[in-house]
Amino acid sequence: MKIAVIGGAGVRTVIFVNGLLDRYKALNINKVVLFDIDGEKLEIIGKLCKHVVERRNETLQVEVAYEAVEAITGADYIVTTLRVGGDHSRVVDETIALETGVIGQETTGVGGFSMAVRTIPVLIEYCELIKEHAPNAWIFNFSNPSGLVTQALRSKGYDKIIGICDAPSSTKFRMAHALDVAEKDLYVEFFGLNHLSWISSVKRYEEEMLPTLLNDDAFLNGIQEFSMFDPDLLRQIGFLPNEYLYYYYHREKALENILKSGATRGKTIEAVNIQMMEELKRINIDEQPEEALQIFLYYMEVRERSYMSIETGSNKKAEIERGNLQVPDGIGYAGVMLDCIEGLQSEEGRYLVLSVQNQGCMAGLAPEDVVEVTCNVSKEGIHPVAVGEVPEYCNVLIHAIKLYEKLTVEAIFTKSKEKAIQALTLHPLINSYSLAKVLVEKYDQAYGGLFN
């Protein structure tokens, strides 16, 4: 079986490929083909991916393709991981937002809006190619904002698309470690939307633990995703939050910390990636593949340690020792995707958190609305676990963001500035017609006419 990666020159592709190596044989995958419009970067990332395979003496084929059709044709599974406009577009998105007085995080709020407006039309073009050249392939969308993008593609009739995010699986991994229990023995149930979800159940060996965990400050402070929240808030809600809810529950803190730092996440990532590629271009990867891989791993560790540090005001300055760094095992995006493939090939199935159509899972939302929930995945298909009625405290945010998403999709499809302004006006992190109007105009100008 063949996996095609559209956007294969992204730096996380190396970790993605490494994550395949423990499981590709069991899942009958024998080839990965990487495609990207940035040929120079694709060549570098492709060589690093091949070295990751060779250093473990595995037989997985890794190829690069310089034409999309070549990569897509005959693929059984396709990964879409695009950043339309490159790293600098994220800097532009965040800067415009901050100059206007709002948070510009790339998946949450107006940063996500700008990214979606640029990304969705391009992904539709790729989906049309997939329909023609790999009509039976499952599409795993990693492109941010994942939930909004998946909503748009589903509304266009691309039925075999699943939104993937590694935040829930990473949270579960850390929870299992903190509770000294194997992941397979810990059941964690999520509901909501992508980057706007809550944990409603935590069971260890079938025993419900959520009320106990909410009252355990040591546990809350010991998990990265929960430690940034006021514990009293979590007890008031009665659920454990997705980390991106920080932007809603502690909005002024996030904005203050970003402004105070004099930098944004986008600027940090752009600088790291530029330095990484400059070093990699100076080395002969064919002759020094391990040295090149260690350069890559150093900068990926720098990048990882900066995650959420600006927004939360934390500081991770521990020195990183070059030269003997290990390749991450890929439990993130690759892990969720492989778990999904395994589930789709199995009789018994497995529980995963995915962005899929609601199908009556959450009361009050339409069947076609894309939600992020725990699903049972098996040969019988992907079936969301029933959530039923959602507490009003969460419901208000879910409905506001879902309406924002639908209006954004409509604005993109009809190229309507008016719909775009309406969408941002309703978004809780903007919540102002006058701000929405200014923001839409600024992004439209910055990108040469998004709605033309």
State yes or no: 195 annotated in a binding site.
yes
Is 246 marked active-site? no
| Three-class DSSP category at 10 | coil
Active site residue 159: no
Longest pairwise C-alpha distance within the chain? 60
Which residue stretches of 352-427 are H helix? Answer: 392-414, 417-426
Alpha-carbon distances of 300 from 18, 220, 243, 277, 295, rounded to whole Å: 14, 27, 21, 12, 9
Our separate counts of H helices and E strands in the chain read 20, 13
**What are the DSSP calls for 82-127, one per residue?**
--TTHHHHHHHHHHHHHHTTS---SSSSHHHHHHHHHHHHHHHHHH
β-sheet bridge partners, residue 3: 32, 77
| Angle (nearest 5°) at CA 352 between 184 and 247 | 110
Tokens of 317: 């300055």
Angular region, 85: left φ>0, alpha ψ -120 to 50, beta rest: left
**Cβ atoms of 85 and 94 closer than 8 Å:** no
Strand partners, 139: 78, 161
Indicate the SS3 state at residue 3: strand
Separation between Cα atoms, residue 274 and residue 280, nearest integer Å: 10
Q: Among 166, 339, 369, 404, which one carries the catalytic annotation?
A: 166
Q: Is 28 annotated as a binding residue?
A: no
- 395 carries a ligand binding annotation: no
**404 token code pair:** 């924002």
For the chain, the first-to-last Cα distance in angstroms comes to: 41
Place of tokens 């998004």: 450
d(CA 366, CA 377): 21
Q: Which of 24, 158, 187, 244 is catalytic?
A: 244
CB 137 within 8 A of CB 127: no
Spatial CA neighbour of 101 closest among 382, 359, 429, 360: 429
How many CB atoms lie under 10 A from the CB of residue 162?
23
CB of 150 within 8 A of CB of 162? Answer: yes
Amino acid at 91: V
Question: Is 204 marked as binding a ligand?
Answer: no
Taking the C-alpha atoms of residue 107 and residue 96, their distance in angstroms, rounded to an integer, is 15
Residues tagged in the binding site annotation = 90, 144, 165, 195
Give catalytic residue positions. Answer: 166, 244
Q: Which residues are annotated as a binding site for substrate?
A: 90, 144
Known binding-site residues for Mn(2+) equal 165, 195
